[in-house]
Amino acid sequence: MTNSAALIAEARTHLGGPPGPLRVGRDPVNLPMVHHWCQALDDQNQAYLDEEFAAETRGHLIAPPGMLQTWTMDAPRGAELMGSNDHVNRLLDEAGYTSVVAVNYEHEYVRELQHGERISVRSSAEDLSEEKKTGLGLGYFTTVKHEYLTDDGEVIGIGRMRLLKFKPPAAAPEVGARPTPAIGRDNQFFWDGVQAGELRIGSCNACQTLHHPPQPICRACGSTDMGHTVSTGKGVVYSHVTHHYPKLQGVELPHTVLLVELEEGVRLVSEWATAAKPETTYVGQQVQVSFTPVPGGELRPTFTAVS
């Protein structure tokens, strides 16, 4: 048996076990706390607030039933005051199911409460599910039962809260930094342009033919006298493909790769400035260059759609 399974098995031994000690409400049911509640919730029920109405109907003011648990709310307790429910929660924590979200909150209001009545509560673990796979992660549903009593032991309300105690899923793995480009004499101008906020395209100083990616010799005339020009950055999507798998360093998946045809006539491989949106990418889509940090923080030429 794994350590975790042993802890869960121990938690089950507490189900139906004795409730924790009676916790006595700090103050009896009282008008100032009712006023505070009614003002905060904007509840103007005469049964809670109007003494004259109360005298003519029930004979007395009542407390809002929704305040039942409020009368026994208190600061966290020490280990010596733990009941079966506290033990179940502690063991689930130790087994790694440390996160909690409430799923159900149910009450039976046996009778209405009057001012001056002191309310106590005793709480017990009622149920612990099998391990469940949930949208939030692996976890256990637990039900705690609260019995609310007056000083002479009359049960005036029963509450049940069902909680999901779950293991927070591991954070998405970091994609790491995008590999840095290999920069040499032939393409230095291109990457300098990125830093300067310019999309630079290699051009032949002899015949003015444009080239991308950068190259040392003009394919048109064979000249090695190469310069560059600055693109307007406007173009259209010539083709696109979306990469889902395998993982790539420095790339958040899915990743839409764009082949953009610039209005100067050359094409370059790029990506969207924001998260991939394969479903809205189409051939012929008008795009405009922008310079955006990629994972790792370096700038890359990227594109945004223009309408």
Partner 1 sequence: MTSVGTQLPEVRIDASVRNIVATAIASRDYQDVHHDVATAQVKGSKTIFTNILTSNGYVLRYVTDFFGPLSVIKTSKLRLGVPNYAGEVMTMRGTVTGVDGTLVTLDVKGSNSLGDHVIATVTLEVPQ
Residue 282 sits in the site that holds partner 1 (CB under 8 A): no
**Structure token digits, residue 240:** 């696109």
Taking CB under 8 A as the binding criterion, the range among 32-40, 196-204, 217-225, 246-254 that sits at the site for partner 1 is 32-40
**Structure token digits, residue 275:** 């998260």
**Structure token digits, residue 58:** 């029930």
One residue of 21, 22, 28, 69 binding partner 1 per CB under 8 A: 69
Taking CB under 8 A as the binding criterion, the range among 60-68, 194-202, 232-240, 292-300 that sits at the site for partner 1 is 60-68
Considering only CA atoms, which of 71, 67, 142 is closest in space to residue 100?
Answer: 142
One residue of 43, 192, 225, 252 binding partner 1 per CB under 8 A: 43
One residue of 109, 189, 238, 291 binding partner 1 per CB under 8 A: 109
One residue of 22, 31, 47, 305 binding partner 1 per CB under 8 A: 47
Residue 139 sits in the site that holds partner 1 (CB under 8 A): no
Residue 37 sits in the site that holds partner 1 (CB under 8 A): yes
Taking CB under 8 A as the binding criterion, the range among 45-53, 79-87, 238-246, 257-265 that sits at the site for partner 1 is 45-53
- Which residue bears the tokens 């009676």? 22
Considering only CA atoms, which of 119, 121, 113, 163 is closest in space to residue 28?
Answer: 119
Helix, strand, coil percentages, rounded to 5, for the chain:
20, 35, 45
Residue 98 sits in the site that holds partner 1 (CB under 8 A): no
In this structure, the dihedral spanned by the alpha carbons of residues 133, 137, 141 and 147, taken in order and rounded to 10 degrees, is -160
Taking CB under 8 A as the binding criterion, the range among 41-49, 146-154, 180-188, 289-297 that sits at the site for partner 1 is 41-49
Residue 132 sits in the site that holds partner 1 (CB under 8 A): no
Helices (H), the chain: 3-13, 31-41, 46-49, 51-56, 84-94, 188-196
Residue 178 sits in the site that holds partner 1 (CB under 8 A): no
One residue of 67, 201, 260, 273 binding partner 1 per CB under 8 A: 67
Binding mask 228-267 for partner 1 (x = CB under 8 A): ----------------------------------------
Residue 42 sits in the site that holds partner 1 (CB under 8 A): yes
Residue 40 sits in the site that holds partner 1 (CB under 8 A): yes
Q: Is the omega angle on the peptide bond into residue 246 within 30 degrees of 0, that is, cis?
A: yes
Taking CB under 8 A as the binding criterion, the range among 40-48, 80-88, 212-220, 271-279 that sits at the site for partner 1 is 40-48
Residue 155 sits in the site that holds partner 1 (CB under 8 A): no
Question: How far is residue 230's CA from residue 264's CA, in Å, rounded to a whole number?
Answer: 10
Considering only CA atoms, which of 84, 77, 73 is closest in space to residue 127?
Answer: 84
Number of residues that bind partner 1 (CB under 8 A): 35
Three-class DSSP category at 179: coil
Terminal Cα-to-Cα distance of the chain (whole angstroms): 62
Residue 32 neighbours by CB distance under 10 Å = 8
Nearer to partner 1, 105 or 282 (CB): 105
Determine the number of helices (DSSP H) and then strands (DSSP E) in the chain: 6, 14
Residue 93 neighbours by CB distance under 10 Å = 14
Min dist. Cβ of residue 251 to partner 1 (A):
26
Residues that bind partner 1 (CB under 8 A): 33, 36-37, 39-43, 45-47, 50, 53, 57, 64-67, 69-70, 73-75, 101-109, 112, 161, 168
